[in-house]
Chains A and B, each alone.
Chain A
Amino acid sequence: MRRVLSVLVTAVVVLGLAMTGWAAESTLEKINRTGVFTIGTRTASPPFGYINKQNDHVGFSIDLAKLVHKNIEKKLNKSVTFELKESQPATRIPLLTSMAVDLIAGTMTDTRPRRDSVDFSLTFFVTGAQFLVKEGSPIRGIQDIGGKRVGAQQGSTNERIIRERVPQAQLVVFPDQAAAFTALVQGRVDTYTNDGIQLAGLKVKAPNPAEWKIVGNFYSYEPYGMAMRKNDSDFRAVVNNALMEAIEGGEYFNLYDKWFGPKGELPYPMTDDVKSFLMYQVVPK
């Protein structure tokens, strides 16, 4: 019995040491060793990350992550496989910390509490929360939702703001956007709130887009960033440099046009404010 115990203890200690060894590995070292760069992204958030009609996993965030991928290959001076995994708001931080993915590139808002757990890249998209309602609904904005049944997505920042700012609203929180939108279509909730751009994505994909209206001023500020493991500044620099080069060299704006331009998946013109904000994030060479 005692021998079995000592073997077990040794095994646990050795395993523990081995794991500490991995933990010390930086993201770039891990990618270099495995030859794979894995991102976590959305599968149902057009046009940031979604499965299109041809069954391809595509999107604006994925295209930007591909630029990061190119930059990693340049940095490591070897070719690296690019892999996509689905990440939900509730799973994206555990996916990162458990090393299952190297970068979250989806629709994640950069917030201060989240910065305690993960590091963020530059802001790559700016939006704010609004409401999606059926044509003819009395709801015109956050001032009208008291006592109404408001659908929201769990893990989103706007759910939290409603809870704090309009506690009389009856929040119904769903783990994913598809369920929340179905609840709105079936009349289980009176309105669905999320980032304006996501609502626009839902409206475009709805069977009858004219039936739906996006209402209200932005009641939150949602800067989207890519998230990575904390305290890995070399990797962060690779990610940020890829974004800066894309903004500086104009590739970012080509991609923006591809997805949000007049002929894009979801027309959403960029305001001048947002454009200067993006440009000012680029530090000099």
Chain B
Amino acid sequence: MPLTGFLGMQYNFQWSVLWTGGHGEWLIQGIVTTLRLSALAWILASLLGILAGALRTVPFRPLRAVATCYVEFFRNVPLLVWFFFWYFGAPQMLPRAAQDWLNAHGPEFWSAVVGLSVYHGARMSEVIRAGIQSIPKTLLEASVATGLSVGQAYRLIIIPVALRLIIPPATNESLNLLKNSSLALTIGVAELTFMTRQIETYTAKAFEALTAGTLIYLALCLGISATMAQVERYFRIPGLIVRVGRAEH
């Protein structure tokens, strides 16, 4: 479609480059890599986040200090730097044999998984801490009064309630995580953004490729938002919280 003068650009749009010449397969591979990377990192980040978030609220100072150090150290350094650290720096500390093994098993992808999950785990933990701290102290006291230990009270009462409260901000974090996975291209992970740039390289059609990337990220993120809204509805505890309105999707 020749469209001269659109936004001041002299440019001929040619959308077919997105699916001809095997470029459609690249996009699909890119989507799969992005989803695999994000899903693995999301699981790890959630586990780290729950652990660190809970530890930051426990009534035992050394544990709180450890968790605070983790959070402040990892969330206050740019993600790009972490990617470089986990890919270029961290493996240097391993013995030679371990490095060779790593090099033979796709170090780019696994460095990105670690980088993304540790960084987002730190951010996720703040969301979880906020959830836990929004629960009245009396709930913990009441739980302990029923004969539960503090650990049990956390595992059975506090965290399940907190997890429900934090679904909206956690959705936010999850969307950020998915979008931040695009930075992994800097260490050579062939994810979605990488693939759109790859198409640009082969066809010199930058606007088509970037538009495709934009729309795919938008669709993926809307999918996540919709899923999380369903999760929120499914797990809600009737009568626990006064709802002003539920998320519309």
Q: Show the binding face of A for B, using Cβ within 8 Å.
A: 19-20, 22-24, 89-90, 93-94, 97-99, 113-114, 116-118, 149, 151, 154-156, 159-160, 172-176, 179, 182-183, 186-188, 229-231
How far apart sit A160 and B26, CA to CA, in the bound complex (Å)? 14
CB contact list, B150-199 vs A, under 8 A: 185-188, 190, 194, 197-198
Contacts A93-B200, A97-B9, A114-B204 hold; do A149 and B103 have CB atoms under 8 A apart?
yes
If A20-B5, A174-B188, A186-B88 touch, whether A155 touches B204 (CB-CB below 8 Å) is no
Cβ of B11 < 8 Å from any Cβ of A? yes
**Looking at B185, B203, B206, which has the most chain A CB atoms within 10 Å of its CB?**
B206
What is the distance, in angstroms, from B199's C-beta to the closest C-beta of chain A?
11
Chain B min CB distance to A220 (Å): 14
- Which of chain B's residues has its CB closest to A152's CB? B188
Which A residues lie within 8 Å of B53 (CB)?
none
Q: Are B10 and A230 in contact (CB under 8 A)?
A: yes
Contact status A117-B204, CB under 8 Å? yes
- Decide yes or no: A175 and B11 within 8 Å by CB, A186-B88, A187-B99 being known contacts: no
B108 within 8 A of A: yes
Q: A23-B5, A97-B207, A113-B203 are in contact. List 18 more A-B contacts (CB 8 A).
A: A19-B6, A22-B8, A23-B10, A89-B201, A94-B206, A117-B204, A154-B201, A160-B202, A172-B108, A174-B187, A179-B84, A179-B188, A183-B87, A188-B87, A188-B103, A188-B107, A188-B108, A230-B10
Quick one: which of B88, B190, B202 contacts A188, CB cutoff 8 A? Answer: B88
Decide if B103 touches A231 in the complex (CB within 8 Å).
no
Contact, CB under 8 Å: B201 / A172: no
* Residues of chain B contacted by A230 (CB below 8 angstroms): 10
Contact-size category for B: 20 to 34
Q: Is the CB of B194 within 8 A of A154?
A: yes
Q: Is B120 an interface residue (CB 8 A)?
A: no
| Interface pairs (14), CB distance under 8 Å | A22-B8, A23-B8, A24-B5, A93-B200, A94-B207, A113-B204, A117-B206, A154-B194, A155-B200, A172-B188, A173-B194, A175-B185, A179-B84, A183-B188
Residues of B88-135 contacting chain A, CB below 8 A:
88, 91-92, 99, 103, 107-108
A102 to B200, CA, bound (A): 20
Interface residue? B7 (CB, 8 A)? yes
Query: Which residue of B has the minimal Cβ distance to A91?
Result: B206
> Closest 5 interchain pairs by CB?
A20-B5, A117-B204, A23-B5, A19-B8, A172-B188
A residues within 8 A CB of B186? 174-176, 179
| B206 surroundings in chain A (CB, below 8 A) | 90, 93-94, 97, 117
C-alpha gap A175/B11 in the complex (Å):
25
Q: Could you say which residues of chain B place their CB within 8 Å of the CB of A186?
A: 88, 91-92
- Verify if B4 is at the interface (C-beta below 8 Å from A): yes
| A19 proximity list for chain B (CB < 8 A) | 5-8
